[in-house]
A and B are shown apart, each in its own frame.
Chain A
Amino acid sequence: MSTGTQLSWRVIFRLAWRNLWRNHRRSLIMLSAIALGVWGMIWMTALMRGMVDQMIDNSIKTLSGHIQIHAPGYLDDPSIEHLIPPVDTSPALQELLHSSDVVVWSQRIRVPAVIRSEREVYAVTLVGIDPEKEQGLSFIGESITDGDYISSVNDNRLLVGRKLLERLETKLNRRVVLMSQDPGNNIAERGFRIGGVFDTDPQATETSYVFGGLETVRKMLNMGSGVSEISLLGHDYRKLDALKNKAQSAAMENADVKTWAEQDPYMGTMLNVMDGFILIWFTIIFLALSFGLVNTLLMAVFERTREIGLVQALGMKSSNILLMVLVESIIMLIIGLVAGNILTWLTILPVQDGIDISGVAEGLEWAGMSSTLLPALQIKDVVLANTVVLVLGILASLFPAWRASRKVPIEAITRVWQ
């Protein structure tokens, strides 16, 4: 007995391709389902990632940076009593902050205060900044929409959020009074002219912070050379463990060094569970898709029972029949995936500058959302979506393919002969 020859891939492909188009309508419906499924996977993931990225970005830019260094106890009681030495007194810290591991850094004084206009009084956080160093680190350097950004650490003007300005019922260039406590627990107050107004997302930030020059604030608070915090940006907000360890070593003993995720556990958790969410989302869509795929293939196999019997009678081996159905499924999956990816690209393109969600953003401010949602299309999500559909699609097709290959020739042919 000669050994059975394996059917060439070309023949299997030709049979599978032609079989696929025997029932145009059914194949097109299935292809549309795959394409829409992939589109849904990638699109929703891009939106979810965009939302989380934006929330994290807002959180980081609001003031936290990637890593913050505080005096012990500051985070529980953010007052003037908990200060750390300034950077120029620590050679180790200077070396780290000027190394290639750190993109940008700044030190700040940050204390609770009360701001008073001629009509209203509000509680805020007064932040003394080095305006030059804040560029690229926090939102404040890029958010001035009226007036000017402060020019130096000795600038006497104050930067106020648009919303706070409205609440204080005051205007640019008018004077306000800031009041806080000095290190001796005495009232420290000073009049400031409003030099600039900032607009930022989320709007809660506009009512929470006011900014002044670092040295001006220091003088107002009658304090020495200490600062409340050092904030720095590394290269990747997801990979901060090594940088945190270096910062911990370089900072003063017992310094409280925390990443943005540790300072904002809600955001940190969002990031950590994001990949899990995406996988669950992909699985749900795929499950819906797989029922259609398996059903379509089973129908195709059922309709072709007579032919399968015929090719078995002609000497086609079960393995080739299994392969033929699998290849048919793979062709369908690949066409569907290509269509889905093109559809994704075509629909992401018009909204790459963001989707206006101002209608709902106000209600989501607590979560750090902005009024414009930028979809974040990541190659790894595209690859994952395509891989999930292709690999699980092939696995789902194994059952109908196996059913086809296990048909007993006589039973298949009997459907014709009787």
Chain B
Amino acid sequence: MTIENNNAVKCRGVSKVFSEGELAVHALSDIDIDISAGEFVCLSGASGSGKTTLLNMIGGLDVATSGEITVTGKRLDKMSMSELADLRLHHIGFVFQAYNLIPVLSARENVEFVMQLQGVAADQRQQRAMEILEQVGLTGLENRRPAELSGGQQQRVAVARAIVSKPALILADEPTANLDSANSDKLMTLMRELNASIGTTFIISTHDEGVMKFAKRLVRLHDGRIVEDELVEEK
């Protein structure tokens, strides 16, 4: 993959205003941020601070009211819905807070799903899915459907699916929100290991201090503005 100026993500003057009738809510105001390839960034802040909105816009799921967002060198505001779908398919992995998996597919099929969209051959797909599931510690559970997995296991399947096609960027929105602290630590450790081993950029939104301790870079938002952006010392 090609990343201009080593930037995985570049935001310039990004604002987002939600309008409900005459009421305008400024979810994000004039955000400027550069995130380099291979970084492990935590977006923190209280509920309503704009973390999720920023992630949505970086992922091309939502459109900024003003400003420019560039992901892997592509200006999102210049792309069509179809091109955005392609960008997400080939360059971005998502881990959501809940309801991450397709309920009618098994763990392995969920992991394979993105590769199927990418047109990867069946034998290659299955092999890679099994490898990734092993990597996230789910060997033996590959044929279970989401309803037969615990919340932590489901999140690990989601992470496996996010990383299986080696995207440039993984966006995780409160991935540990529904997990206990032990499972939360396991998941974050896993993501850090993957970040270290395959060099994928991670941007994780959280308001959990336990998650923030895994960050290499911590960006704090408050009322839609970045109020703090610091590199965290490696532990």
Listed in ascending order, the chain A residues whose CB lies under 8 Å from chain B are: 1-5, 7-8, 11, 15, 18-19, 22, 306-307, 310-318, 320, 409-410, 413, 416-417
CA gap between A317 and B56 in the complex, in Å? 18
- Does B86 lie within 8 Å of A3, measured CB to CB? yes
Top-4 shortest CB links A-B: A315-B89, A18-B104, A5-B119, A410-B62
* 5 A-B contacts (beta carbon < 8 Å): A19-B104, A312-B61, A318-B81, A413-B96, A416-B98
**A1-B83, A417-B96 known; A409 vs B61 contact (CB < 8 Å):** yes
Whether B136 is near chain A, meaning CB under 8 Å from some CB there, is no
With the chains together, A384 CA to B82 CA distance in Å?
39
**Residues of B close to A18: CB separation below 8 A:** 104-105
Interface: B160 (CB within 8 A): no
Say yes or no: is B58 at the interface (Cβ < 8 Å to chain A): no
Closest to B83 in A: A1
User: A residues within 8 A CB of B224?
Assistant: none
Interface residue? B50 (CB, 8 A):
no
Give the Cβ gap from A298 to chain B, nearest Cβ, in Å.
Answer: 19
Residues from chain B with Cβ under 8 Å of A3 in the complex: 86
Contact assessment for B102 and A307 in the assembled complex, using a CB-CB cutoff below 8 Å: yes
CB-CB under 8 A from A7, the residues of chain B are 116-117
Determine the distance from Cα of A22 to Cα of B145 in the docked complex, in whole angstroms.
13
B70 to chain A, nearest CB (A): 13
A320, closest chain B residue (CB):
B117
**Which A residues touch B74, using CB under 8 A?**
1
Given A1-B74, A4-B82, A410-B62, does the pair A314, B97 have CB atoms closer than 8 Å? Answer: no
Residue in contact with B103 in the complex, picked from A1, A307, A409, A410, CB distance below 8 Å: A307
- Which residues in A have their C-beta under 8 angstroms from that of B89? 4-5, 314-316
Known: A314-B161, A416-B96. 8 other contacts (CB 8 A): A1-B86, A11-B116, A19-B104, A310-B96, A315-B89, A316-B85, A318-B82, A413-B56
CB distance from A57 to the nearest CB of B (A): 54
Inter-subunit contact B114/A315 (CB<8 Å): yes
CB pair B102 A416 closer than 8 Å = no
What mask results when residues 82 to 93 of chain B are scored 1 for a CB within 8 Å of chain A, else 0? 110111111000
| Distance of A417 Cα from B104 Cα, bound (Å) | 21
B181 at the interface (CB under 8 A from A): no
* A15 CB contacts on chain B under 8 angstroms: 102, 104-105
Which of A307, A315, A316, A417: most chain B CB closer than 10 A? Answer: A315
Known: A2-B90, A416-B97. A313 touches B82 (CB 8 A): no
